[in-house]
Amino acid sequence: MRNRILTAAVLVCLGAGPAFASACTGPEESKAVSLRALQTELMVAALKCSHKPELAAQYNGFVRSFGRELAENGKVLMAAFKRAYPKDHQKRFDAFITRMANDASQKSIASPDYCETTPRLFDSVANLKGPEVVAFAATTINGHAAQPLPRCN
């Protein structure tokens, strides 16, 4: 009897493994979070530093230049949310994106010289091509405090 219970428990755990594994972020999702964090940082900078209209122009150029990468990463993020939260993925995705923007805004408020230092980030992405922006975001932004899911091991 004890062996049957133990066997049943092992089988339940083995069956639950894929469900637990799907509720975490792997390398692709982590890169997508980093790129979204970079986009959000640039967007907040363009809005916060409105006295520097060149930042808004640079942000718009960033979105135009990397529209394909941004769209692909958006799909990766949405797929992760659908997998982890099948019933309310859109609500949770929207909350995550809002939390990222709020975090970036708080960072801008906390830094007295924010509008003087932020142009360096725009300069850093200005000469990147296509997929280079994903690698740049992954190494520069290196994830985000508001990770949507725990990282997979």
Dump pLDDT digits (tens) for 114-152.
999 999 999 999 999 999 999 999 888 855 555 666 667
What is d(CA 37, CA 21) in angstroms, rounded to the nearest whole number? Answer: 24
Confirm whether 17 is domain-assigned.
no
pTM higher than 0.85, yes or no?
no
Classify 85 as helix, strand or coil: coil
Domains in the chain, number: 1
Confirm whether 150 is domain-assigned.
no
**HSE-CB for 150 with a 13 A CA cutoff:** 6
Q: What is the pLDDT of residues 94-103, one digit of tens each?
A: 999 999 999 9
Confirm whether 19 is domain-assigned.
no
Query: Which residues does 78 contact at the CB level (< 8 Å), separation at least 6?
Result: 89, 93
Task: Please report the pLDDT score of residue 26 as a whole number.
Answer: 83
Confirm whether 63 is domain-assigned.
yes
Classify 32 as helix, strand or coil: helix
End-to-end CA distance of the chain: 34
Confirm whether 58 is domain-assigned.
yes
Confirm whether 14 is domain-assigned.
no
Confirm whether 98 is domain-assigned.
yes
What is d(CA 82, CA 93) in angstroms, rounded to the nearest whole number? Answer: 9
Mean pLDDT of 60-76: 96
Confirm whether 112 is domain-assigned.
yes
Q: Angle 32-71-51 (CA atoms, 0-180°, nearest 5)?
A: 85
What is d(CA 143, CA 32) in angstroms, rounded to the nearest whole number? Answer: 9
Give the range of the structural domain holding residue 85, as residue numbers without chain letter.
Answer: 27-140
